[in-house]
Structure formats: structure tokens, C-alpha cells
Structure 1
Amino acid sequence: MTSNHPLKRLYDIFIAPMDRWLLLSILIIYIMSLFLLYSADGGQFFQLEKKTLHTFLGFMLLWGLSRIKPQMLASLALPAYIGGVILLLGVEFFGVSVNGAKRWLDIGPLRIQPSEIMKIGLPMMVAAYFQRYDTELRWYHYLGALGIIGLPVGLILDQPDLGTAVLIGASGIFVMFFAGLSWRVVFVTIVLAVLSMPLMWEYGMHEYQRVRVRTLFNPAADPLGAGYHIIQSMIAIGSGGVWGKGWLNGTQTHLDYIPESTTDFIFAVYAEEFGLIGNILLVAVYVFIVVRGLIISANSRTLYERTVAGAFTMTVFCYAFVNIGMVSGILPVVGVPLPLVSYGGTATLSVMIMLGMLMSIHSNQTRGNQSKY
């Protein structure tokens, strides 16, 4: 195919800037999620249509970001961080309460969850901060990074949203790790965190959070209350067996036993209908995305690119791991969606932005390699 062929020109415009392996993985999950969401929503098209719109916008962002140089994206770190903090403060004073939690903000006709913005803004800001001191990093710079992390995390904890706060805080810690944080410090921090758990339990957790932890170890203590979610999701996963019951044939799903079946607990729907084999395939795609992201991080040419790529990759991994873990009954129930699968516009777009920035970093690597010849 010649360079002037129309198909070749279309490929160069729309596909070449993006990492083909990441793009293929995203397409696999997206196509699977359409079938899954249609089943989870009882054969209705409303959420499916909105999911399609969210994903179309996500792919537009993916393509657009892949064509922008990482240096230009880095200049957006401070505005994204400050904007996210301002929106979180807006939630404090003008937020919308749903089920006792004030996590959303109405801006005109839109309802957004500012904590989703901090998934992107926080690691970008911490990475830009470290890039500024690239050649002269000292121990006190890591303390400064903790301050950058602590402000939005504290605001999210006050909503209250412990699960999201921990995961967003972890994204900042990942940046610190990829910036060269000593393994000794990591080990000591983990030990101190474990030792402080009794104090955290007594003074740092709301009662509903304690209930979730107790329910994890004994969901049968309140089968129609706090334990209902875990019990029903584990029944669905177990009844799927090895091969699953087949698409649209999940009894737990279509008899409405699975709560939040299109959002937080959509993996239970998937496991019931596609079984263990389907679970393995989905996890394999997530693992492939993580491995590919870490390869991009390892091949990065600047500290900012390496830390952002590594943090975004590990953030996607953490959200997938936590969601699958809570639905399977090995982690407490928290409001964490399954990346690229669960229904939700803000969550979908935030993940697509992360992957788009990964592609931008990869594209910059490719241009750099080509310029050597």
C-alpha cells in the first residue's frame, strides 16, 4: 500500500499516533462492556446509549491526547490540580448528597464528581513537582510531595469517601516510588501503617466504614442489610461456574438480586454469565494493559514521563484489583467502578484520559527514536 493510498493516510492520521497494543486492549474491553451493560440493565438501551456516547468522547480524547507532546500536557498539571482542589472545596459547601455522602457537584446541567478529576490532576502535579527538582532531589522534596497529596485526600476523606481517598492518595505515592523513593522507606511506611490500624479503626473511620470491614469477615451476620451486596455477588460468581450461564441468562442478574449491577457490581454480572474462563480472559486484558503501561514507563526519557506513566498504569491496576476484590468478597465494599466496564461518564473519561497520556508518552518515545536516524 503506497503512502498516498487513502487508507494509508487515514491510518497515519487516526491510528499511527496511538499505541496499537493499548488501543486493541481498550477496544476488546469496550466491545465486551456493551454486551455486558445491555444484559445488566435488563435488556434496556438507555444506559447502553449513554455508555456509547461516553466511550466515543473517550476515544476522541484518547486520539487527541496521543498527538500532544507530554511536555505540553505537563504544563496543565498545576491548573488541573488547582481546579480539582477548588471543585472539591465546592463540594464541601455546595455539594449534592446521595445516600449520606456528599461527593457530587452540580454545574449547570452537569453533575460531576471532582474526585475523578484528582485521579489525573494529583499524579500529574506530583510528577511535575519532582521534574522541577530532577537533578537535586532530597528527602525534604518527598515531604513536599506528601503535602501536595494530603490536601485533596483530606477533602475527599471529609465527603466521606475512604476508598477513593486511599486510591487517589496511592496514585501520588506511586509517583514518589517511580521518582526513586527508597524501598527501605516504603517498607517502614507499610509497617507503620499496619501498626497504626487500631488507631485508625478507633478515631479515623466512620461507623459505616467499620461495618463494611466487619461485614467482609462475616457477611452472613447481616444477610439482608450490610452483607447483602457481598452475599449476592458471591452467589452470582459461584453460580457462573467454569463456562458461565451464557449471555442474558444470568438468573441473579435478571431477577435483580445483584445491587448496582451496572456500576460497582458489574463484575458479578460478568462472572455469572461468562464464568471462570471469561474472568481469566478479562483479567488477562487488564494485566496486558498494566504490563504495556509499565514498559512505556520504563522506556520514558524524562522523570515526568516515567513517573506519570507508572502512576497512571498502577492507578488503573488498583481500581481493577479493588473492584474485582470487593465483588469477590476478599476486600471491603467501596464505591470503585471497574475501569472501562462500569457505567459512568466521569469514571470512563478519566481512565481514557490516563491511557491517552500513556499513548502521548509512547508516541513521544517513537518520535525520539525516529529522529536518531
Structure 2
Amino acid sequence: MMLGDITRGLRGHPVRPPESGMSRRKSVWTKLRIDPWILLLLLVLMGAGLLVLYSASGQRLETVIAQATRFGLGLVVLMVLARLSPTTLLRWAPLLYGAALAMLIAVEVMGDMGMGAQRWLVIPGVVRFQPSELMKLAMPMMLAAYLCRRELPPKWTDLLVCGLIMAIPVLLIARQPDLGTSLLVICAAVFVILLAGLSWRFIAFLVALAGAALPLLWINMHNYQRQRVLTFLNPESDPLGAGWNIIQSTTAIGSGGLLGKGWLQGTQSQLEFLPERHTDFIVAVLGEEFGLVGMLVVLTLYLLVIVRGLWLANAAQDCFGRLLAGSIVLTFFIYVFVNVGMVSGILPVVGVPLPLVSYGGTSSVTLLAGFGILMSIHAHRRLLPR
């Protein structure tokens, strides 16, 4: 302390200790409404993703630059949303849901085709994006906004309204067809409803009802979707056709061994045996080139993000924040679990990318936006009256 500080202390005035570098850093994070731990973990995941993507894309630098640009846009969206109060998000929830629903209807009418699916909207000369990705955030926000104004646990009438809110966009997404995204939207909605306090008896009833509806789901699935399920049960039944993806991905992961073949040294990926290696099957590239150790490192990063996210969600001080934050984190877990499960052969292939590692524009921005909302809910809790 300076001499003047000591003098003020002797005169009876409080002495303010010198501000440390850590305190200054904390004040910066507080002003930005950013959780530094989650931000650091996300940045490391994005860096690892760009490293693997360079190899998976056939060493095309333009692909990596495009992905990095989307990450940059996503981080800007994250920081903007983190500064918005949960009260603002609550007011915007119906508007965001309505806009996302309107865009899904626009996709149905005039959407752009790609790889046999009609999933994209195109603004000429500006952007090409998937409105279904926006529904991954709009759906839990809308349900959380609806339920937080009702008595919890929700009554039958409230559950029927939630079912209607959920059914229309899910059916529109399934018609594109996009089974993976429709399942993720369903998960985001179901997590909000479960966190609202359903009894285990009612949950068991819903599980039984879903099981009874499986034959109806099977009848309404597209032929390629049925083939994916049959291939999951027995990939060797069509090794050169429908089973090719799973066989090649498991072969790539297995051939990586403990430490992998080395960056850019994978045979299944570099010789193009592995399909969709820069999107849905990028885990196979990771396993082949970096081995079991590399996969465990990346999975540990995901685990740390999920644990930290659940801690932030648990610290939320209002109903809307708890429901929305919990749904965002648990849906992120489903992203990781389903992608790793389908690539390793323990789940059917449903077209779910590995978050922040697989190549994708709208998906990456939406994921980072979700974490921005999570940070907003946590940061603004300090401003609520205790």
C-alpha cells in the first residue's frame, strides 16, 4: 500500500486493498456476463475441431476458414445473448418461436434442396441456413416461458398445450426429412417438461405410450430411415451398401489403437473410404488419427462443459431460467451421446453432428447461442433480489 493509504487508515477511513490482476480479470468477465470456464472449454473444443476438420476435409484450408468464420459469428452471438437479461428472453420467446415456425413453413413451400432433402432457406448473395436449427432454441424457450407462468408440476391441460407447441414444428422438420434434428428438438422439449416436475408414474406412462407408438412411427418412416435401423441391427447384411458407413467408421476407430496413426495419416479417411468424414462421421477420423487417448481427451472436454453447465443451471434463481438452462445443457449432452453412439455402432445413424467439431454453419452458431443464453441466466441471477 502507498503511504497515503496508510495515512487514511490511521485517520479512521477504510483502506481499500490494492486490486489484484485476478480481481480485474473477474470484473471484466462480470461486465461481459461471460463464464470464463465454459468459454475456455468451448474454445479448446473449437480449436480441436478445426484441427481434425483440416484432416477430415482433405486438407482444404478454405473449409477450415469457413468453419472458423462461423465460430467467430457464433461467439459474437454468444456475447450478445449473454448480456441480455432472462426477462428479455422470456418476452422474446413467443416471437422467436413464431419466427422459427414461419421459417419452417417457408422451407416447406420454397426451401432449397440438397442431398435429397428440402431443409434450407436461401437469401441470395447473403446466407443459406437451416431454420430447423433455430427451433432447437425456440422450442425450449417457448415451453419454459409457458410453464413458468403455470402451477407446477404441470397439469394435463398444460401438457396437452405443450404437446401441441411441440408437435407442429417437429412434424414440419420430419417432413424435410431430417430425423436427427427432429429428435433433438423433441429432446429439448421433453427436458423442459421433465424438469418442470413430472411424477415418475407419469413418466413411466409416457414411456409406455411412446413404445406403443413405435409401430406407427415405423410405418411413417422413409425407406432410407428404415434401412438405417435395419443396418444398425446387422451392418454386415449389406456391407457394400447401407452397412458401408458403420463398417468403415468402426474400422477407422479400431485401427487407431491407443495413440492413433498420427495427424493426416489416417488411411480410412485420407483414402476416402470413410463417408461424410467431415460432418457426421468426424469422430472416426479423430479415433483413427489420435487413437483412444485423443477420443478420451475430447470426451473429457465435453464432460467438463456438461458438468459446468449443469452447475450453472442448478444455480438459476427463477423457474424460467432453471427450465431453459437445464434443457440447453441436457440437449448438448444428447448431441454428443447420439453422434458418438451412431459412429461407434451402438446407435442407429440419424445424422446428428458432433458439436463444435463437425463441419456445419447454422448448427455451430445455434450451439454457441445456447451457451450465451446459459451464461445470461447465470450472470443475471446476481441482480435478482434475494
**Aligned: 1:365 with 2:363:** no
* Contact kept in structure 1, 2:153 and 2:198, CA below 8 Å: no
* Contact kept in structure 2, 1:326 and 1:333, CA below 8 Å: yes
* Contact kept in structure 2, 1:96 and 1:102, CA below 8 Å: yes
Residue 176 (structure 1) aligned to one of 190, 193, 196: 193
- Where in structure 2 are the equivalents of 1:75-154 lying within 5 Å? 75-109=91-125, 110-134=127-151, 137-154=154-171
Read off the aligned partner of 1:269 and give its amino acid letter: V
Q: Which residue number in structure 2 is paired with residue 350 of structure 1?
A: 366
The secondary structure found in structure 2 opposite 1:111 is strand
Question: How many residue pairs align between the two structures?
Answer: 369
Structure 1 window deviating more from structure 2 (142-151 vs 91-100): it is 91-100
CA RMSD of aligned residues (A): 2.2
Deviations 1:227-272 (Å, cap 9, x if unpaired)? 1111111111000111111111111111111111111111111111
Runs of 4+ aligned residues of structure 1 deviating over 6 Å after TM superposition are none
Residue 184 (structure 2) aligned to one of 139, 155, 167: 167
Q: Which residue number in structure 2 is paired with residue 340 of structure 1?
A: 356
Q: Which residue number in structure 1 is paired with residue 215 of structure 2?
A: 198
The secondary structure found in structure 1 opposite 2:106 is helix
CA change 1:11–1:342 in 2 (3 A) is farther
Structure 1 window deviating more from structure 2 (61-70 vs 350-359): it is 61-70
- Where in structure 2 are the equivalents of 1:152-301 lying within 5 Å? 152-201=169-218, 203-301=219-317
TM-score between the two structures when normalised by the length of structure 2: 0.90
Q: Which residue number in structure 2 is paired with residue 33 of structure 1?
A: 49
In structure 1, the gaps of 5 or more residues are none
Q: Distance in 1 between matches of 2:325 and 2:270?
A: 40
Q: Distance in 1 between matches of 2:34 and 2:370?
A: 13
Read off the aligned partner of 1:192 and give its amino acid letter: L
* Contact kept in structure 1, 2:90 and 2:141, CA below 8 Å: yes
Q: Which residue number in structure 1 is paired with residue 337 of structure 2?
A: 321
Deviations 1:110-141 (Å, cap 9, x if unpaired)? 21111101001111001001122256843311
Deviation at 1:347, TM superposition (A): 0.5
* Contact kept in structure 2, 1:69 and 1:364, CA below 8 Å: yes
* Contact kept in structure 1, 2:148 and 2:320, CA below 8 Å: yes
TM-score between the two structures when normalised by the length of structure 1: 0.93
The secondary structure found in structure 2 opposite 1:148 is helix
Q: Which residue number in structure 1 is paired with residue 88 of structure 2?
A: 72
Deviation at 1:42, TM superposition (A): 1.9
Q: Distance in 1 between matches of 2:298 and 2:84?
A: 30
The secondary structure found in structure 1 opposite 2:273 is coil
In structure 2, the gaps of 5 or more residues are 1-16
Q: Distance in 1 between matches of 2:37 and 2:20?
A: 25
The secondary structure found in structure 1 opposite 2:351 is coil
Read off the aligned partner of 1:93 and give its amino acid letter: V
Deviation at 1:11, TM superposition (A): 6.3
* Contact kept in structure 2, 1:3 and 1:9, CA below 8 Å: no
CA change 1:134–1:360 in 2 (3 A) is farther
Q: Which has the larger radius of gyration?
A: 2
Q: Distance in 2 between matches of 1:129 and 1:265?
A: 37
Deviation at 1:77, TM superposition (A): 0.8
Deviations 1:34-72 (Å, cap 9, x if unpaired)? 211111122220111011111111111222222221111
Deviations 1:303-360 (Å, cap 9, x if unpaired)? 1000000110111111111111111111111221111111111000000000111111
